[in-house]
């Protein structure tokens, strides 16, 4: 599709259509009420978790401080129905697809997008993972058609998303016929001037939805770090503009066509103080807060994503007025509900009326039967993918620990994770949590008949079933030593038992069984060279560890976070590239009394 036709879709469609809607809307939406109610129900970072997520990815701290099992499409659907009313618009903040479990990823996430349409999603910002397979594939997901390589899924030709994807800061680098395309914008010089400053959007920047006679404008944004965390080839023709600038320009366009109630859906957010209620304002101000406080005063609220955290905050806009800034966790574990009143005369949100609540998607309710059937159907369909060979091994590769705490399989996974994060994340070493290695790889063939020594995708997935994202952070040498000290009981984090992280082959160190906590680890070396306290080190680990999981709290001191592929994808790629794989010898860690 040419940039000219894309511009007409993205701008003429979003702006001129918005103007047409306003022209045909009732002059007075209500003759009796001064305000009308609107409810938003939002999700973020669903990542295709049609089946209930497992492990730490399937648990959430609720409003009472209890950790509960949460998530799963059938439960999301049940909770959405319970909280929806006739005034509801369902929205999302990106990463609905990409970095997904096998049930969704096997069919290029068509099952997840279909599910989201079934539960009534209307508008979603793109996230960085929407670009995992490139811009052209995102366009196919949006508009329909079979995959150009793999063809149609078992469900037949893909019909496209039932909701609008928006991304105001996703622009073409070198658009053709830009001037001529801008002229298509309904003879509005002010709009043309804005677009000239903005650039040519590669996606619709805004979506306007009507509720109770008033228009609500949604502005989509994605993190500007996207080029660093997706494959460059897939987005080579795109650039990702500053979120605040793009939001402010989109806000002006909405105002030009009379849309005063404005909501930003942004795939960017902040980290939190761990263990807090999802309704607490626990967000530590960062890049998400910058966006939430700096976008134009005309924008009434900022619903965020990307950091996989849950928080409800009130921040000040540039004019000093209160503005909601929220996020709803990840993997379908939280639904954010926002209730508001919209003035029928000004058509603006009454900010004093805004009330937000993060509902944990518990599994104590009855799952939605239609969605349960839908998920089971796709589970059956993916069975063929599960049996696909991905590599070979020369012998059993076990997950039983040596005296040092290392396991052959844990070491192999760490090596795979380092290989997957060197490019893009600039990783120098990798560390794998032992609890994430759930089963051994066995040499003997399975009942599926793949043969001895063959590893199927399903077998690899059984080893690493949590679908954690690979991340890379910068730690100093001193911080790395603290991480390694936190493997042992007796420290300030109240570790219940020793958890030895599995190191990549180029990381070696010694620990003493008898030394006191804080002095157990010594002689840390990377590629044979001693590590100094002030030395910056790029450390790869899954997002569970980077978030401080298993009491490795020093990981949370890491800076310059980079997110990459799923851990299972890193593992499968390594098996394929290095087949046949022999069990690695342990000995990266030396133990003394």
Are the C-beta atoms of residues 554 and 483 closer than 8 Å to each other?
yes
Structure tokens at 337: 């509900």
Of the chain, the percentage scoring pLDDT greater than 90 comes to 74
- Flag whether pLDDT at 132 surpasses 70: yes
In terms of pLDDT, which residue wins out, 219 or 436? Answer: 219
Beta bridge partners of 471: 541, 563
Q: What's the CATH number for 3-23+39-371? A: 3.60.21.10
Between 142-151, 225-234, 294-303, 391-400, the lowest mean confidence (pLDDT) is in 225-234
CA distance 460 to 456: 6
Is the pLDDT at 33 greater than 80? The verdict is no
Helix (H) or strand (E) holding 59: strand 59-61
Per the confidence metrics, is the pTM higher than 0.85? no
CB 243 within 8 A of CB 221: yes
Is the model more confident about 91 or about 399? Answer: 91
Confidence of residue 176 (pLDDT cuts 50, 70, 90): low
Would you say residue 183 has pLDDT above 80? no
Cα separation, 553 vs 275, in Å, equals: 13
User: Taking 80 as the threshold, does the pLDDT of residue 127 lie above it?
Assistant: yes
How high is the pLDDT of residue 23?
A: 40
Sorted by sequence, the CB contacts under 8 Å of residue 575 that are 6+ apart come out as 390, 391, 392, 393, 416, 455, 460, 581
Q: What is the pLDDT of residue 27?
A: 44
Mean pLDDT lowest among 19-28, 232-241, 460-469, 530-539: 19-28
In this prediction, residue 29 carries a pLDDT of 45
E strand map for 276-333: 301-304, 310-316, 322-328
Residue pLDDT, tens place only, 542-580: 988 998 878 899 999 999 999 999 899 999 999 999 999
Identify the CA nearest to 344 among candidates 225, 242, 213, 455: 213
CATH topology of domain 387-592: 5'-nucleotidase;  domain 2 (3.90.780)
| R_g over Cα of the chain | 25
Give me the pLDDT at residue 335, please.
Answer: 98
CB 120 within 8 A of CB 39: no
3-class SS string, 336-383:
EEEEEEEECCCCCEEEEEEEEEEEECECCCCCCHHHHHHHHHHHHHCH
149 compared with 56, residue with greater pLDDT: 149
Average pLDDT over residues 307-322: 97
Q: Given this model, what pLDDT does residue 373 score?
A: 98
Chain Cα centroid distance, residue 117 = 19
User: What's the token pair of residue 152?
Assistant: 């149609």
The token pair at 295 is: 């976008």
């Amino acid at each position: 599709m040419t940039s000219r036709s894309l511009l007409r879709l993205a701008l003429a469609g979003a702006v001129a259509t918005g103007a047409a809607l306003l022209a045909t809307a009732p002059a007075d939406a209500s003759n009796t009420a001064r305000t009308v109610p609107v409810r938003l129900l939002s999700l973020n970072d669903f990542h295709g978790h049609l089946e209930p997520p497992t492990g730490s990815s399937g648990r959430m701290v609720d409003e009472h401080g209890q950790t509960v099992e949460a998530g799963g499409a059938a439960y999301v659907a049940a909770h959405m129905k319970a909280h929806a009313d006739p005034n509801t618009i369902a929205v999302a903040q990106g990463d609905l697809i990409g970095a997904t479990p096998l049930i969704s990823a096997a069919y290029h996430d068509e099952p997840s997008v279909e599910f989201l349409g079934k539960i009534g999603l209307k508008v979603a910002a793109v996230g960085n993972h929407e670009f995992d397979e490139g811009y052209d594939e995102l366009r196919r997901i949006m508009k329909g058609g079979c995959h150009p390589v793999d063809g149609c899924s078992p469900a037949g030709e893909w019909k496209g998303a039932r909701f609008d994807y928006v991304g105001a800061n996703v622009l073409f680098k070198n658009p053709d016929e830009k001037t001529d395309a801008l002229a298509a914008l309904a003879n509005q010089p002010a709009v043309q001037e804005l677009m000239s400053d903005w650039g040519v959007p590669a996606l619709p920047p805004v979506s306007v939805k009507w509720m109770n006679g008033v228009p609500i404008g949604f502005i989509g944004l994605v993190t500007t770090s996207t080029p660093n965390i997706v494959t460059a080839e897939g987005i080579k023709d795109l650039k990702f503009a500053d979120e605040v600038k793009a939001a402010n320009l989109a806000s002006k366009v909405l105002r030009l066509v009379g849309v005063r109630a404005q909501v930003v859906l942004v795939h960017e957010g902040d980290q939190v103080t761990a263990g807090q209620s999802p309704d607490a304002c626990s967000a530590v101000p960062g890049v998400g807060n910058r966006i939430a406080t700096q976008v134009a005063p005309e924008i009434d609220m900022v619903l965020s994503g990307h950091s996989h955290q849950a928080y409800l905050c009130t921040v000040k806009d540039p004019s000093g007025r209160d503005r909601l800034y929220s996020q709803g966790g990840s993997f379908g574990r939280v639904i954010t509900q926002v209730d508001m009143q919209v003035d029928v005369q000004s058509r603006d949100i009454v900010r004093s009326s805004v009330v937000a609540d993060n509902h944990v998607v518990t599994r104590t309710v009855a799952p939605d039967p239609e969605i349960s059937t839908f998920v089971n159907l796709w589970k059956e369909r993916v069975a063929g993918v599960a049996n696909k060979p991905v590599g070979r091994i020369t012998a059993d590769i076990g997950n039983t620990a040596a005296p040092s705490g290392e396991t052959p399989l844990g070491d192999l996974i760490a090596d795979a994770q380092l290989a997957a994060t060197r490019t893009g994340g600039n990783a120098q070493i990798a560390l794998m949590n032992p609890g994430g290695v759930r089963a051994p790889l066995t040499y003997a063939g399975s009942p599926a008949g793949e043969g001895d020594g063959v590893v199927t995708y399903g077998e690899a997935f059984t080893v690493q079933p949590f679908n954690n994202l690979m991340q890379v952070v910068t730690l100093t040498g001193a911080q790395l030593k603290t991480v390694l000290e936190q493997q042992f009981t007796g420290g300030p984090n109240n570790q219940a038992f020793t958890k030895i992280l599995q190191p990549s082959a180029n990381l070696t160190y010694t620990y003493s069984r008898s030394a006191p906590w804080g002095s157990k680890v010594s002689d840390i070396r990377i590629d044979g060279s001693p590590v100094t306290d002030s030395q910056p080190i790029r450390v790869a680990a899954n997002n569970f560890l980077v978030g401080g999981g298993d009491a490795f709290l020093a990981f949370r001191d890491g800076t310059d976070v980079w997110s990459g592929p799923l851990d299972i994808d890193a593992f499968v790629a390594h098996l394929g590239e290095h087949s046949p794989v022999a069990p690695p010898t342990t000995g990266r860690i030396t133990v003394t009394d």
